[in-house]
Chain A
Amino acid sequence: MGEVRDALAQARLEAQAANAELLERWEEINLLYSIGDILGRTLDLSDAARTILAAISDTVGAGRGGIFVYEQSSGLLRPLTVQGVDAKLVAPVAVDDASSLVARTYRARHAMLESSVPGDTSDLALRRGPVLAVPVMWKSPQDGPVALGVVLLSDKRSDMGFTASDEKLVSAIAAQIGTAIQIEGLVRASVAQQRLAHEMQLAHELQMRLLPATTVVSPEASCAARVAPAQSVGGDFYHLFRLADGRTGVLIGDVSSHGYQAALIMALTMSAMAIHAQATVDPAVAVQALYASLADELRQTEMFLSLCYVVVDPAARTVCYTNTGHPHAFIVAADGTVQRLDATDPPLGLGGDAPHSAVLPWTPGSDLLVLFTDGISDARDDAGVALGEARVLDVVRARRHDAPARVVDGVFSLLEGHMSGMAPADDQAIVVLRS
């Protein structure tokens, strides 16, 4: 019985000691749990950092503190939040600042304790008495441990200074902060990427809306067209104009670049040509006026514009055109012969003389006007072989008696088969018209 009583007494003593230790560590354990909770509930890192720093300072008894985060673009450790001093007094710290304990801890990537404040430190505003600085670390799956920032605490309320236990606690919290910083960065990048993708999609839709419906030239002409930009926005385009006396104006263009700058030139061309095409039936005059509208923009952007503007006149049985360096412009006759609309001038934007025009015969109701850009004929297969103009024209010839929409479908089927799912390297546009 005596042995049992002793064992019970011993167990009671151990339980009391464990209870006492648990009570002593309760605040720390509670802090670790609550920080996990704070970080789990918020995506605003600054708010979370403020709450966490207040909790840490309270637990370890620090009157002043700050959390600094490294900013790669500037090479500075910027204060995310500070405690116990006016935030305006705490400046960002250069990562190579030799006097700053924040910078030294960041570079050393381990905790540092200092018992006195050197006179010339740039962390002066945050420091009073003993100081504890702990790096905020994150374990990258690829690169191992990476330092993201520093937690600095000072103005310890007890005379003991910071203990090894404080250091362990703050290090554990700093690791959680590190993960939160990393997650916040990933979330921000992801949101920015989504926003960019959304904006590019809007730009694509806007650009596609600038292209006219092919029915604008009916009933005088039947027309089909398609534009497929290589990026969300591109520099290939077409325009259609219903002109006086049964004439139809057809424009195809290729700006010498891709992306938003090319799209801007395209939009300017579309709007300027809408004005100039209605003022004259002479393509050279319209294109000269167009160039006058675009010259400054082309010069500033170092771009040029190859285009072919054709005025089809069924009553006169002619087409009159101006071609500024556009290689793929053809009339395909009912008997299958193909007539190229040779360039009359080099591309717009290269200086030189006023554009010229040329006239070719046209058989109303049977001839097909076929204009396409080099993104179609130069499209590569997976072995790098170009589709080639001849194969495009073979498809057009085979469907020359069909409606223009069937011709466009045929060319794009050929193109898609050739590219077998590969993304186009260049914008692709085609217009087919019968009148």
Chain B
Amino acid sequence: MSFSVSQHGDVAIIDVEGQLVVSNRQELKQRVLDEVDKGTTKVLVDFAHAGYIDSSGLGVLVSLAKRIRETGGDLRLANLNEDLQTLFELTKLDTLFQISETRDGALASF
């Protein structure tokens, strides 16, 4: 499991590979906050290569989204597989995040 960071215009894109769980959530948090410290206000987390998020992983996404929104920016999500989409719906977290089916769709939404 790992995270890679790339830039598309003024949007920082974080690709999650594998899982977002209790053991690596702090790493994701740090990678995103590093981008925020550089002045980025638009962050896209792409789950195209991720299969599972536990409650701690959801927690870190929520915490980051709150932090970024406080600075006038936004954190958005893309490419949730069916299980992850269901998870966001069952927990009502889909009401708190803007979720796009594709990376391009998410980038266009900013």
Which A residues have a C-beta under 8 Å from some C-beta of B? 254, 256-258, 302-304, 306, 324-327, 342-347, 349-352, 374, 378, 386, 425-426
**Residues B83-98 near A (CB distance < 8 A):** 87, 90-93, 95-96
Instruction: Classify the interface of chain B: helix, strand, loop or mixed.
Output: helix
B62 in complex: contacting residue of A304, A324, A374, A386, CB < 8 Å: A304
Which B residues have a C-beta under 8 Å from some C-beta of A? 21-22, 52, 54-56, 58-59, 62-63, 66, 87, 90-93, 95-96
A350 in complex: contacting residue of B55, B62, B87, B90, CB < 8 Å: B62
CB-CB nearest in chain B for A257: B56
CB-CB nearest in chain B for A344: B92
In whole Å, how far is B59's beta carbon from the nearest beta carbon of chain A? 3
Asked whether A327 lies within 8 Å of B91 as measured between CB atoms, the reply is: yes
Chosen A-B contacts, 22 in total, with CB atoms closer than 8 Å, are: A256-B55, A256-B58, A258-B22, A258-B56, A304-B59, A304-B62, A306-B91, A325-B91, A327-B87, A327-B90, A343-B90, A346-B95, A347-B58, A347-B92, A349-B62, A350-B96, A352-B95, A352-B96, A378-B52, A378-B54, A386-B52, A425-B54
Are A374 and B55 also in contact (CB < 8 A) when A326-B91, A327-B87, A347-B91 are? yes
A141 to B102, CA, bound (A): 56
B59 in complex: contacting residue of A302, A345, A346, A386, CB < 8 Å: A302
Are A325 and B93 also in contact (CB < 8 A) when A256-B59, A378-B54 are? yes
In whole Å, how far is B64's beta carbon from the nearest beta carbon of chain A? 9
A327 to B89, CA, bound (A): 9
A171 to B38, CA, bound (A): 56
Chain A residue contacts of B62, Cβ below 8 A: 256, 304, 347, 349-350
A374 to B22, CA, bound (A): 13
A236 to B72, CA, bound (A): 34
Asked whether B92 lies within 8 Å of A345 as measured between CB atoms, the reply is: yes
Chain A residue contacts of B66, Cβ below 8 A: 350-351
A265 to B52, CA, bound (A): 25
In whole Å, how far is A366's beta carbon from the nearest beta carbon of chain B? 26
Asked whether B63 lies within 8 Å of A302 as measured between CB atoms, the reply is: yes
Chain A residue contacts of B58, Cβ below 8 A: 256, 347
Chain B residue contacts of A342, Cβ below 8 A: 90
Chain B residue contacts of A426, Cβ below 8 A: 22, 54-55
A254 in complex: contacting residue of B55, B63, B90, CB < 8 Å: B55
In whole Å, how far is A391's beta carbon from the nearest beta carbon of chain B? 15
In whole Å, how far is B98's beta carbon from the nearest beta carbon of chain A? 14
A347 to B59, CA, bound (A): 10
A342 to B92, CA, bound (A): 9
Are A346 and B96 also in contact (CB < 8 A) when A306-B91, A425-B22 are? yes
